[in-house]
Amino acid sequence: MKIGFIGAGKVGFNLGKYFSEHGVQVTGYYSRHQESAIEAAEFTNTKCYDTQDELIAESDAIFLTVPDGEISSVYEEISSFSISGKQIIHCSGAMTVGEAFPGIKSRGAAGFAIHPLFPFSSKYSAYKELTGVFFCLEKREGVGEWVDFLENIGLKTKLLDESMKAGYHLACSIASNLVCGLYEMSKRHLNEAGFSDAEAMAAIGPLARANLENILQKGPAIALSGPVERGDSSTVKKHLSLLTDQIERNVYTNLSLVLTDLAKEKHPENQYTHICQLLEDMK
């Protein structure tokens, strides 16, 4: 199978590099920003295409590695060429194939959604960490070929019903994106305690890494520690007194209420009525 990429950002760079290093024939890249396509082609030792139709003609499968908001418009653009017999793939976690590629079957092509469950933070090095990463695919006719393809090059796969895509992506965003907001809140309060930005992140690092390792090994309930888990209303009250920003207070109280459920799971013999009431009163 020959694979081409329309879009030469972080996802396109890294998927192309990973594929080519695992024996997959990557034809090359097309991008509206030609310098990006040239750079991606050089990085993967493939070809930079001047036009979309040339890339489509020389590829069996075309990955549209463009921002989610551009997927459908790029699909409409390439549909003006002959895409019969081609496989068109997008990498959005939230969009379904039907949303991204309306009418694709009537054009003689097949559409697929393949989402790498991984944060591509670098154009040049993220591919080194992809082995063993989950690639989640929307269930549809012919998807088994892509499951075999991905698993044969060292990737894990999970099939998702179309109706589950939004909930799946929500889960990914909570675990990846929203965590950044929590660490920003933590950093701000360490700044107020006298830490520079660099000192704050250096201090948070061991705490965050150890906690995440415990969560991954033991699960969130068993890994839980801290004042909510202990039922320490006095400390929680001190925290709340410092949260003058309503958004931060809402984040703290609502997440702490989630933690009370975990605490009850970990310590079913304990009572958390008082701390739950304190948190509810502060919402």
- pLDDT digit string (tens) for 174-187? 999 999 999 999 99
**DSSP letter, residue 162:** G
pLDDT grade for 264, boundaries at 50, 70 and 90? very high
CATH 1.10.1040 domain locations along the chain: 168-282
Contact call for residues 151 and 108 (beta carbons, < 8 A)? no
- Give tens-digit pLDDT for 156-173: 999 999 999 999 999 999
Token digits of residue 113: 């959604």
Other CB atoms within a 10 A radius of the CB of residue 88 amount to: 25
What pLDDT is stored for residue 74 in this prediction?
97
In the numeric block, which tokens belong to residue 203?
């201090």
What are the start and end residues of each CATH 3.40.50.720 domain in the chain? Answer: 2-160
15: confidence class by pLDDT, cuts 50, 70, 90: very high
pLDDT recorded at residue 244: 94
Of the candidates 128, 80, 134, 90, the one whose C-alpha atom is nearest the C-alpha of residue 111 is 90
* DSSP assignment letter at 127: G
The string of pLDDT tens digits covering residues 74-108 is 999 999 999 999 999 999 999 999 999 999 999 99
Is the model's pLDDT at 282 over the cut of 90? no
pTM of the model: 0.92
The CATH topology of domain 168-282 is N-(1-d-carboxylethyl)-l-norvaline Dehydrogenase; domain 2 (1.10.1040)
The CATH number assigned to the domain with range 2-160 reads 3.40.50.720
